[in-house]
Structure 1
Amino acid sequence: MSVPGWPVAFRGSLAVAAGLVTWDRLRGPRYRRLFPDVYVPAVPQAPDLALRSRAAYRLVEGCGVLSGWSAAEILGASCGPRDAPAEVTVPGRDRRTHPGLRVRRDALHPGEIIGVDDLRTTTPLRTAFDLGRSGDLVEAVVAVDALAHRFVFNPDLLLNFAVRYPRARGVRRLCEVLAHADRRAMSPMETRLRLLLVLAGLPRPVAQHPVQDPLTRTAVWLDLAYPDRRIGIEYEGGHHTRPETVLRDAGRYTGLVDRGWRIYRYTKYEILGERDLILAQISRALDA
């Protein structure tokens, strides 16, 4: 007897029936119960969104699918906030609720569901439609950007869902989200940095702007740029701390400065905690 999700996230009753584990062991220190009858191996760190999403799917398997932040995570377009709950969509009659789980009660067209490994999720477009009309404006744009970039679609395609579901909750705000969306964004933090500038009233920067070097016949792609002012803005994620990347970036930025560019580099700490500093620095650069 095979047990779906074993041993990552599985139904305890099925695992016991298959002889893979006993109830005493499930209740012991080796396993952790995330949802009713759904268990995962116990580890020192808290379960991440991917694991919590797999557990949530086992809870609704057969009558629901992963959606929202969970669907984006499983689809390879991770973009949820650090505290994002696992999300599922179930038929309107289902009323189950559990801590750490967001339940969307909605009907889905068969064409809006796909299989990923042994899971079922909403399609990239339907996932973007759901996330683009709920929650905070910035996080909604982050989600649309991430999915549109990962699956290479024009965000305006989401308007087709607005026509199909004109009474869906939050559908009226979708146009505002799409006005800010840009599928060229390479990461959620890059989108947050762009929106920080735009929502403060600064001009919209160009995403992924190429700066060409005719001598070496190469190009450097800036995360954000004001090309007419030769201002480049970069988000420096964790991969920029690797020794080989640090060495590459040194020459990269020296070359840009040599060609007259002013480069501003920010990490998650400034984007999340020192927004006024960023706005002041970029405003001064634009005014110079």
Structure 2
Amino acid sequence: MDDVPFRGSEAVAAGRLTKAMLRGPRFRRLFPDVYVAAEAEDSAVLRARAGFLLVERCGGVAAGWAAAELLGRSCGPRNAPAEVLVPGHVRAHAGLVVHRGTTGPGEVWRDGGWAATSPLRTAWDLARRLDLVEAVVAVDALARRKRRQPAPFVPGDLLRLREARPGARGSARLDRVVALADARAESPMETRMRLLLVLAGLPAPAVQHEIRTRDGRRVRFDLAYPEALLAIEYDGDEHDDTLDRQRDARTAQLGWHTLRLLGADVLRTPQATVRLVAGLRSERARYLERDIRAVGS
């Protein structure tokens, strides 16, 4: 069992546990008849699995942000509640969001005993209810190609789905969401960083722009303005400062300047970040144009 949720009634029926043990300190109850080991670390995946177990017998599946977690395409807040989609009535519980509805052909993904709405259906549900930026974040994440994961879709598929479901609540805004989406984005923060610039009026940067260094290595930038030789990288919790400095040194030999941004730059001081990027882009483009003219003369 470890950190995987389980049904207490099934564990008792199989003789693995007793009711007294379930009520003891070794386990904690997440939802009615759904338990997990007491030491299991809380996570969005854990909550998603627990929510699914609660509604599996009534034909429900994980949905929304919970589905994205089970699909390996996390795009919601860390404290997001479990979300489920059920065809009938399910009682509300703390930490659980219940959506009533049904799924169409091909709209359920199953793996390892878990079931969730498919990437396209999950994107359809999230993009119609979230604000513009987070809707694009969700579409980018769900449309991203990942090995050993459910087949992705292209953002334009959302518009074709809308044609099949005219009048669906929130679907009128999908044109804007699809226009801004880019499945090449490799993280939610990368998408937020790109949208910060685009929605502020800056030209859309190239996504996952690739170059080769002098030693033949391939380097991909999260975002780039090639005309200014300006790269923009999002440094998350797992970035390696030493490797980053080595890479920046190699790309600097080709004239590239790399601006590294943190989450706080995007979320807490967005206006200052936009001014910084706009200024760097303009200044570097101007200098490069001057150098080109000098070479030409």
Same fold (TM over 0.5): yes
Identity of aligned residues (%): 50
Give the SS at the match of 1:24: helix
Using the size of structure 1 for normalisation, the TM-score is 0.90
Q: Distance in 1 between matches of 2:156 and 2:98?
A: 26
The answer to whether structure 1 residue 186 and structure 2 residue 186 are counterparts is yes
Structure 2 unaligned regions, length at least 5: 146-150, 284-297
Residue number in structure 2 paired with 1:200: 200
- Select the residue among 46, 49, 52 that pairs with 2:44: 49
Whole-Å Cα distance in 2 between the matches of residues 223 and 82 of structure 1? Answer: 23
Q: Distance in 1 between matches of 2:95 and 2:199?
A: 31
Look up the match of 2:154: 154
Aligned partner of 1:85 in structure 2 is 81
- The code of the aligned residue for 1:81 comes to P
Post-superposition shift, 1:169?
1.9
Output the CA distance in 1 between the equivalents of 2:221 and 2:160. Answer: 32
Shift of 1:175: 1.3
CA distance in 1, matches of 2:231, 2:3: 47
CA distance in 1, matches of 2:154, 2:69: 20
1:228-273 deviation per Cα after TM superposition (whole angstroms, max 9, x unaligned): 11111001122213xxxx3332221112222222211012232222
Preserved CA contact (<8 Å) 1:75 1:116: no
The answer on 1:102 being equivalent to 2:101 is no
SS in 2 for 1:111: coil
Equivalent residue, structure 2, for 1:266 = 261
Aligned to 1:173: 173
Per mean C-alpha deviation after superposition, the further-off stretch among 251-260 and 182-191 is 251-260
Whichever residue aligns with residue 137 of structure 2, its letter is V
Match of 2:127 among 126, 132, 139: 132
Pair 1:152–1:227, CA change in 2 (3 A)? farther
Alignment partner of 1:112 is 2:107: yes
> How far does residue 44 in structure 1 lie from its aligned partner after superposition?
6.9
1:209 counterpart residue number: 209
AA aligned to 2:225 is Y
Equivalent of 2:64 in 65, 68, 71: 68
CA deviation digits over 1:91-122, x for unaligned, max 9?
1x314222211111112113211211101111
Number of the residue aligned with 2:288: none
Which amino acid letter does the alignment assign opposite residue 176 of structure 2? Answer: E
Match of 1:240 in 2: 239
Q: Letter of the aligned partner of 1:172 in structure 2?
A: A
CA contact (8 A) 1:64 1:89 kept: yes
Shift of 1:286: 2.6
- Name 1:224's counterpart in structure 2: 223
| Secondary structure of the corresponding residue to residue 115 of structure 1 | strand
Compute the displacement of 1:139 (Å): 1.5
> Could you tell me which amino acid in structure 2 is paired with residue 175 of structure 1?
D
User: Is contact 1:72–1:78 with CA below 8 Å preserved after alignment?
Assistant: yes
Using the alignment, how far apart are the partners of 1:195 and 1:236 within structure 2?
17
3-state DSSP of counterpart to 2:191: helix
Residue deviations 1:138-185 (CA, integer Å, cap 9, x gap): 111111111111344321112221112223221111111111100110
Provide the C-alpha distance between the structure 1 equivalents of 2:104 and 2:260, rounded to a whole number of angstroms. 44
* Alignment-mate amino acid for residue 96 of structure 1: R
RMSD: 1.9
Q: Give 1:78 deviation, angstroms.
A: 1.4
The SS at the match of 1:155 is: coil
**Conserved 8 A contact 2:2-2:37:** no
In the TM superposition, what is the alpha-carbon distance from 1:6 to its structure 2 partner? 8.3
Instruction: Indicate the SS of the match to 1:238.
Output: coil
TM-score w.r.t. length of structure 2: 0.87
In 2, the alpha carbon distance for the partners of 1:200 and 1:56 equals 39
Q: Which blocks of at least 5 consecutive residues in structure 1 are unaligned? A: none
How many residue pairs were aligned?
A: 277
Matched residue SS, 1:172: helix
